Amino acid sequence: MTTRPTSTEDWQPVCRVAELEVERGATALVHGQAIAIFRTPDDTIYALGNHDPFAKGSVIARGIVGRRGEVPFVASPAHKHAFDLRTGKCLDDAHVSVPAYDVKVVEGVVLVGHRKQVDAA
């Protein structure tokens, strides 16, 4: 994945890290898109598109957070498909993914950037 250069206004503050429950999703409207935000036990923050392509609904934030080996994922509550929190790729169907977004934390505030760009392999 590559990240495009961004300016300060490309980062939208969403909430404080302390407001996010560990292994629970939260939703936010960022750059006009419904985003699911997750905090893992090691305090890493991830952001994915909230729309489940299998269930055709905005349910990803209500999913179950876990790990498969070294891969942090969220399993959709609808059909239980797992999505890599880092990339948005479905771990159960290599042809499907949800958008993943750049995230950074500044002084305890979660900032979400634009959609990550995926390099063609």
Q: What is the DSSP string of the chain?
A: -B-----GGG-EEEEEGGGSPBT-EEEEEETTEEEEEEE-TT--EEEEESEETTTTEE-GGGSEEEEETTEEEEE-TTT--EEETTT-BBSS-TT-B--EEEEEEETTEEEEEEEPBPPP-
Give pLDDT, residue 1.
Answer: 44
pLDDT tens, N- to C-terminus, the chain (121 residues)? 444 444 556 999 999 999 999 999 999 999 899 999 999 999 999 999 999 999 999 999 999 999 999 999 999 998 899 999 999 999 999 999 999 999 999 999 999 999 998 655 4
Give pLDDT, residue 39.
Answer: 97
pTM of the model: 0.88
